Structure 1
Amino acid sequence: MSRREQLLDVIEQDIQQDSEDYLVLRKLMQDLYAQLLLRDCQQIDQLNLQINQLIEQLRTRAQRRNKIITAFGIMAGNQAMQTLFSAFPAPRGDRLQKQWAQLTRLVVECKELNERNGKLLSMHNDILSKLLNVGADSPLYTPQFY
């Protein structure tokens, strides 16, 4: 097997693995939202650990894809993957292009879920700040000197 074919195989495997991992990430983000609503700190910490590990694996594969794109002499940018897909034989390249489009939708969905989780965390923080009256003149939860 030539070096070119090996690199194309790596791209195909990485896209497949990313697709599977983004499905897992989507589920973890949904689970995290539920745990944030319940304020279950132990479960939140566990889910954040799993999410961070998964994101690191996804980042590693994205970096590898960028190196392969560079090895093929393709300029990085929005069209880089489309150009790379043209290096595959027709049925294989078409299938990967469809899988890439599906992966792109999953990435967008995970980003939206992450934003939703962030908004919930921000709301929790605002509520706690108001309860604790942080920055206000009220002595609630601060030492009282009588």
Structure 2
Amino acid sequence: MNATQSLKQLLLTIQTDRKYYIALEKLLLKQRQYVIRYQSAKLLAVNDHLTELYQALSQTTMERIALLKELKVAPNKEGLQTLFNRLPEQYREHVTALWADLEQRVKNCQQQNQRNGQLLSMQKDILTSSFNYQEEFIYAG
């Protein structure tokens, strides 16, 4: 693959990840709703979709790292910025905005995932304390 093809493929991975993160945001919100409503069957289905998305994101990340290495650029944020700065100005602004949008979506998903984890932890604590209290009450005496 030549440098132009590698660059085009790299941009496709960014666009693909953006689509994945849009879907991930929606699924994480559904996950929260199903946890709150104790809808375990729907929660399991959403979790299956989340697992598929995480696997797809992992694959595009690995592909992007390989492409950056092919382009002789460090596979990190600074390397991407260096690459974007090499682009003609008419493309640079669009690509930089696309990457910034992806970064924001990643951050939003991380925050939502953390909130969902906290909710699950709180539910577990409530259930654990409820069952422990009942056991002590039942067996006391």
Given the two structures, how large is their TM-score scaled by the length of structure 1? 0.88
Matched, 1:41 2:65: no
Identity %: 25
Q: Which residue of 1 aligns with 2:30?
A: 31
Greater shift, 107-116 or 8-17, is seen at: 8-17
RMSD: 2.0
Matched, 1:99 2:98: yes
Q: The residue matched to 1:30 in structure 2 has which SS?
A: helix
5+ unaligned residues in a row in structure 1: which ranges? Answer: none
Instruction: Give the aligned length.
Output: 140
Deviations 1:79-108 (A, max 9, x none): 011112134332122211111001100000
Task: Spell out structure 1 runs of 4+ moving beyond 6 A.
Answer: none
Contact kept, 8 Å, 2:31 with 2:43, in 1: the verdict is yes
Determine the C-alpha separation between the residues in 2 that align with 1:128 and 1:65. Answer: 43
Determine the C-alpha separation between the residues in 1 that align with 2:13 and 2:76. Answer: 18
Determine the C-alpha separation between the residues in 1 that align with 2:71 and 2:4. Answer: 11
Contact kept, 8 Å, 1:8 with 1:88, in 2: the verdict is no
Shift of 1:137: 7.3
Q: Which residue of 1 aligns with 2:136?
A: 138
Matches within 5 A, 1:64-143: 64-133=63-132, 138=136, 140=138
Contact kept, 8 Å, 2:65 with 2:75, in 1: the verdict is yes
Higher helix proportion, which one? 2
5+ unaligned residues in a row in structure 2: which ranges? Answer: none
Determine the C-alpha separation between the residues in 1 that align with 2:119 and 2:50. Answer: 17
Determine the C-alpha separation between the residues in 1 that align with 2:25 and 2:96. Answer: 21
Q: The residue matched to 1:73 in structure 2 has which SS?
A: coil
Amino acid at match of 2:38: R
Deviations 1:111-145 (A, max 9, x none): 000000000000010011101108x97164xxx6x
Greater shift, 17-26 or 71-80, is seen at: 71-80
Change beyond 3 A, Cα 1:47–1:137: closer
